[in-house]
Amino acid sequence: MALIVQKFGGTSVGSPEKIKAVAQRVIRSHRQGNRMVVVLSAMSGETDRLTGLAHGVQRMPDLREMDMLLATGEQVTVALFAMAVKEAGCDAISLLGDQVAIHTDNMHTKARIESIDEALINKYLDQGKIVTIAGFQGVTDRGDITTLGRGGSDTTAVALAAAMKADACEIFTDVEGVYTTDPNICSKARKIDRISYDEMLELASLGAKVLDIRSVGIAKRYSVPVHVRSTFSENIGTWVVEEDKIMESMLVSGITYSKNEARITIKKVPDQPGIAAKIFLPISDAGILVDMIIQNTHDGKLTDMTFTVLRRDYDRAMEILKKVAEEIGAEAVTGDKDIAKVSIVGVGMRNQPGIASTMFQILAKEGVNMMMVSTSEIKVSCIIAEKYTELAVRALHDAFALDKENMPLEETV
Ligand code: ADP
Ligand code: ASP
Ligand code: MG
């Protein structure tokens, strides 16, 4: 008997009708003799709706209470799903993160999974039940409900597959797999059949939200092959697996974008040793991640420090930095939420000079101004105005000919 973990995202369970259709699909696998663990997201739009409610009540919502609120979205879908399975004549049980239990640290709204108890799940599987588990949530040692951060149901599914040594982990979503770029904004996007964990990690970290980055990290660490595929078709999707010899190593394998970031500048900071630490220490103490950092010196004595943080952390970061600015005698703190990060990604870039300059030329030709740039061996990212995101993605996808099966590296270098 195979153990299969299947995860269905928000659009896949967006209405009672869709939940019934998902139940039918799961029941089919169950009747083929498989032990089925099903992880569900909240209905599409629900997590956003709950977040909106919170902000309408408290300016900067208390993070513990936020988790209490957000976790309700997934409670609704697992309960409805279990009912739909029973209505169709099979047996099912729904479990919340704390019932399982999925233990996490206490970083509310972005908690990390520390361990999973499989005993209860196995008990119900042994009884022939389809076990459905609320994605995106867990519980701390003190019994507080936590959530894993947006898109976290993927992480729940892969972590369960790893802990239970499942034979397969299938991530069902509203597109046919992982594409060269977001198929919803670029009609020429091409589906990738197989992608390595490392390349998927890079795409996910730069905004390809089709898989949550932490789920890819767990999949890599525990060698869980992940199949990303569509809820609405039977087609084979994309396999995320270890790199193998036959896998194409593309020059540029994907274009990503992220509208989740915001830019902050601290103006006219004294240009002295220790100042950067004074700025970034309170930020990291508050659990806020900083991404790109740029320092511009004015005249050797003063400098502007510009960096990006996640948009969800923007208000808290601004509040902290206004205090810091006063302490260190900076002139002002300014910010901009209407930015996007557009990136080109590919392991082949390691060996090929000139990719970044090609990217800059393409953006210039489209009249898109770059505010910040960062590069690594296998990616180049640019911060641009949010309104140019789609234009930039399409232009880059065209220029690097990603709609074509582009040439494997061996033939290009
Ligand atoms: P789910 O609710 O199923 O978790 P998500 O909305 O989190 O689905 O992720 C699927 C979405 O990811 C797609 O609808 C698509 O718009 C977006 N996406 C972004 N980049 C990519 C990519 N490279 N390949 C496929 N989908 C992508
Ligand atoms: N419901 C959560 C979200 O919208 C988790 C998920 O869907 O993966 O981010
Ligand atoms: Mg998702």
How many other C-beta atoms are found inside a 10 Å radius of the C-beta of residue 76?
16
State the distance from the centre of ligand 2 to the C-alpha of 181, rounded, in angstroms. 21
What is the pLDDT at residue 1?
87
Q: Is residue 89 within a helix (H) or strand (E), and if so which, with residue range?
A: none
- Pick the ligand that lies closest to the CA of residue 228: 1
Helix (H, G, I), strand (E, B) or coil at 115: strand
Least confident range of 102-116, 236-250, 277-291, 331-345: 236-250
Is the pLDDT confidence value at 245 over 60? no
What is the model's pLDDT at position 247?
A: 57
Task: Please check the confidence at residue 253 and state whether its pLDDT lies above 50.
Answer: yes
Q: Is the pLDDT of residue 413 over 70?
A: no
Shortest-distance ligand to the CA of residue 13: 1
Q: Are 315 and 321 in contact (CB under 8 A)?
A: no
Residue 133's φ and ψ, nearest 5 degrees, are: -120, 135
pLDDT per residue as tens digits for the range 17-53: 999 999 999 999 999 999 999 999 999 999 999 999 9
Task: Count CB atoms within 10 A of the CB of residue 398.
Answer: 14
Alpha-carbon span 372 to 383, nearest angstrom: 5
Does the beta carbon of 348 sit less than 6 angstroms from any atom of ligand 2? no
* Residue among 179, 136, 166, 138 at smallest CA distance from 8: 136
How far are the Cα atoms of 19, 266, 278, 281, 314 from residue 306, in angstroms, in the given order? 45, 6, 14, 15, 13
pLDDT tens-place string over residues 377-408: 889 999 999 999 999 999 999 999 999 875 54
The CA 137 to ligand 3 mean position distance, Å, reads 14
Residues sharing a CB contact under 8 Å with residue 165, sequence separation 6 or more, in sequence order? 3
- Residue 9 C-alpha to ligand 3 middle, in angstroms? 6
Query: Of 83, 88, 71, 82, which Cα lies nearest the Cα of 36?
Result: 82
153 Cβ below 6 A of ligand 2? yes
Instruction: Please report which ligand is nearest the Cα atom of 195.
Output: 1
To the nearest whole number, what is the mean pLDDT of the chain?
93
From the alpha carbon of 10, which atom of ligand 1 is closest? Answer: 2
Q: In ligand 1, which atom is closest to the CA atom of 177?
A: 25
- Which residue's CA is the nearest one to ligand 2's atom 9? 150
347 versus 110: the higher-pLDDT residue is 110
| Residue-range domains of the chain with CATH | 3-174 (3.40.1160.10), 245-413 (3.30.2130.10)
Of 144-153, 158-167, 403-412, the range with the lowest mean pLDDT is: 403-412
Structure-model confidence comparison of residues 404 and 314, the more confident one: 314
d(CA 84, CA 325): 56
Write down the pLDDT at residue 119.
97
Distances (CA, A) of 10 to 34, 67, 173, 203, 279: 24, 18, 8, 21, 38
Sheet holding 261-270, edge to edge: 290-297, 302-310, 261-270, 332-336
Query: What is the C-alpha to C-alpha distance for residues 79 and 89, in angstroms, rounded to an integer?
Result: 16
How does pLDDT run across 38-93, given as a tens digit for each residue?
999 999 999 999 999 999 999 989 999 999 999 999 999 999 999 999 999 999 99
- Residue 73 Cβ inside 6 Å of ligand 2? The answer reads yes
Total Cβ atoms within 10 A of residue 298: 12
Distance 219 CA to ligand 2 centre (A): 19
**Which of 6, 172, 176, 209 for mutating ligand 1's site (highest number of atoms within 8 Å of CB)?**
209
User: Residue 14: is its pLDDT beyond 60?
Assistant: yes
Note the pLDDT of residue 347. 77
